Structure 1
Amino acid sequence: METSIFQIERIEEIEKNILSCSISLNADHPIYQGHFPSDPITPGVVFFQALKQILEINLNKKLLMTEVKKAKFLEITRPKISDSLIFNINFRLNNGAFDVKNKTTFTNHTVLFNCNATFVEMTNR
């Protein structure tokens, strides 16, 4: 049975289109055996996947990321040291797409990841 690299613990709607979400990282996930065995760090793609899943849950829609306008990693995330993260998400609907600004922090409020991205709803064809 495969286990997830992260778990969404809580999503709170602060106000319309503003979310605060806490996730916990699974330090025992097999990906850390290769990234990197002696000093495991969380791959950057995990942040984008968590952001997408948080939005999908909140909006009750399947989404596709179509553009990353900005992405900046400010800190390394070592899950054996800091396994709890907070995503602070601001989004708005703009011509059928969701423009998203995210700031991810450790629980001590140190910023570790900023990004601006665009998501669209996936449609069945």
Structure 2
Amino acid sequence: MQQGIYQIGKLEQTEDSVKAAVKIDPSHALFNGHFPGAPVVPGVIQLEMVQELLAQHTGRKLKLKSLRTCKFLEVLDPSRHEELTVFIKYKTQDMLDITASGESGGSVFFKLQATFI
């Protein structure tokens, strides 16, 4: 996790899914440069949120094996959307095949399908 950019809050878990509230710190220094006057949560940080949630949920250290689809549908401005709800559904075998999305205030910011090992 990039120190202090976000914090994972309440988790709701089932056998094959995770839903979590993720609080974004709009005052983090990252947003001074990404981008001045128009802050944007980088896509790589949004992907990291998914990986960290999965690792926390499964108790496993995970690495991204493949990213089948990844769409960033809207700009995630931390000054307007300080809390993001991340939904993850997965199938467990030797690897984790997942579908995930991040939403806030009726907007969907990302959708992805990936495999983690």
Interval containing the TM-score (normalised by the shorter chain): over 0.9
Structure 1 CA distance, aligned partners of 2:21 and 2:88? 11
8 A Cα contact 1:71 1:116, kept in partner = yes
| Greater C-alpha Rg | 1
The alignment status of 1:112 with 2:109, answered yes or no, reads yes
Structure 2 CA distance, aligned partners of 1:52 and 1:109? 23
How far does residue 109 in structure 1 lie from its aligned partner after superposition?
3.1
* Residue correspondences, number: 116
Structure 2: runs of 5 or more not aligned: none
Q: TM-score, length-normalised on structure 2?
A: 0.94
Structure 2 CA distance, aligned partners of 1:27 and 1:111? 19
> Superposition pairs for residues 26-37 of structure 1, below 5 Å?
26-37=25-36
Q: TM-score, length-normalised on structure 1?
A: 0.88
CA RMSD after TM alignment = 1.3
> Superposition pairs for residues 1-125 of structure 1, below 5 Å?
3-13=3-13, 15-94=14-93, 96-106=94-104, 108-120=105-117
Structure 1: runs of 5 or more not aligned: 121-125
Sequence identity, in percent? 25
